Structure formats: C-alpha cells, structure tokens
Amino acid sequence: MKVFKYINVDDVISTIFLSKIFKEINLIRVPSMNNRSVNNKLVFDIGLGEFDHHQKNRNGKRENGIYYSSIGLLWKKYGKKYLKNINAKNINKVYEYMDKELIQYIDATDNMQMEYLKSKTSPDFVKLCNPEWNENVTEEEGFVRALKLADEFWNIYIKHAIAEVEAIEIIIKKINETKENYAIFDKELPYRKAMDLLENKNIKYLIFKSKRECYDIRIIDKEIEFKKEIVINDIKQARKLSKINDLLYVDTNGKLCCTETLDSAINLVKYNDKKEID
C-alpha cells in the first residue's frame, strides 16, 4: 500500500536547516520508525526521539506557550552552532531573532496553535508544492520542489536576520549617545524593532540618508506629527510655510518628510519643534 507523505513546512524547513549543518546527508522519508535502525541516523518529526514532537506530552514548549515542532527542536540544538559556522556576528541575538521572528511561528503552525499566528506569517508557500489533484506529480517530486524554494527562502531570511540585528545595535548605540532629540544615519536602516529597546526616551526623530538621493525624516514619537500646515498636497505651499526650499515630500500621515540636504532635514526638525507664538 502506498503511504501518502504530506509536504509540510516543518518537514521541509527542518530538512533545509539540517543541510546547512551537515553538508553531506542522505534524506530518507518514511511514515514511521517501526523496526528501523537509527544507528548513524538523525531522525526528526517521527520516532518519539529528541527531535520529534508527537509524544503524548509533546516535546517541550516556550515560555509564551508555543510548543516545539521539529524545526524548533533542531534550532534549539544546532542554531548557535550553525550561526558560528557562517561567521554571524552577535550570535546570541541573531539566534533569538530567528527564533522569535520565524522558527516559533513554524512551530505554532505545525502544532495548530493558530492563536499565535495573528499578523505573523510562516513560509506556507511550501504547502503549495503538494501535488494538485489534476497534475501528474509524485509526492517525492513535490518535496524536491519545496526544498528548492525553501533553500532560497532560508538563505534570504538568515541574511535578513543578521543584517537587522546589526542595524538594531547600530541604531540603539547612536540614539543612546545623542544629546539631541534626533539622530542622523548615513544610510537607511530598519529601525522599528529597535524602538522598544531604547534607553534615550528623548528621541523623537530619525534622519536617514535615503537611497533616493535625499534625506528621510521619520517621527518615532507616537505623540507628535509634522505640523498640519505642511501636511498638505501642495508642496510649494509647504515649502513657503516651513521656509525649507528643498522640501521634497511630506507624507499625508504626518510621520515622514524628505529633503534634498541634511541641513534642511535638521532645520525641518527644528521648525516642527518650534512652538507657535500667539
């Protein structure tokens, strides 16, 4: 009797991760481990061993309540070793970032803990590799197709995680050292996750040298916006009122402005902070 082996995210991402740890592996997909030798083999997702989560009491869970699936168990065991092998900086922080932003949501998906998946996504494109009812594709062919997609996804995501953790470190250091209520950066950096980690509560604005050959001024203080008088559709009128002649753009939500020069960006911050005189 042919046993259908459903292609799911946990199995595929676990396989890809193991391929990053062990450069030469032979993958054997089986439905169970009954009467099978496990000598010189790493078994995951079945077999009730170290990397299986189908036991009666599962196989551990995080403090937030998310149970481990195979990728979570493998990441817990080998994640830091892998990051060391690829010469990642800030290994502990990248490890936690990957677990918090990706791994645990694969775990939650596989354990049907859907309440943890609000506003989060897991690489569900893997499921689309299951053979459709109207195509002549085997499960094995679908699994290989899923591995190719997942390999590219993993490579991109780990690059993103390392870059964002480094950016967070740069942003926090710069902001905590500044005496102004703004901080200046010579390139665009992902900043939103850093905002919850700041010690300097005086900071209101971030100024980034943009890839668009201008300077972006972003308000990070939830309590303030750019003045309503310049948050208008007429950029010429906004320039006249602010006296910033190279003002290029004002977002209608009042949280982003762009100027051509750094001096103008700083002057726009000062203009926005200036209290009106009756």
Can you give the residue ranges of every domain in the chain? 9-166, 178-273
pLDDT at 258: 97
HSE toward the beta carbon, residue 139, CA cutoff 13 A: 11
Asked whether 129 and 16 are in contact (CB, 8 A), the reply is no
4 pLDDT tier (thresholds 50, 70, 90):
very low
The tokens for 55 are: 């036991």
Minimum mean pLDDT range among 36-45, 197-206, 262-271 = 36-45
Asked whether 127 and 4 are in contact (CB, 8 A), the reply is no
pLDDT at 26: 74
pLDDT score of 254 more than 90: yes
Instruction: Compare 209 and 42 and report the one with higher pLDDT.
Output: 209
pLDDT score of 48 more than 70: no
CB 61: neighbour CB atoms within 10 A?
17
Q: Quick one: DSSP state of residue 55?
A: S
> Which residue has tokens 């040298």?
209
Q: Quick one: DSSP state of residue 3?
A: P
pLDDT at 31: 58
Asked whether 46 and 31 are in contact (CB, 8 A), the reply is yes
HSE toward the beta carbon, residue 215, CA cutoff 13 A: 22
Give the CA diameter of the chain.
87
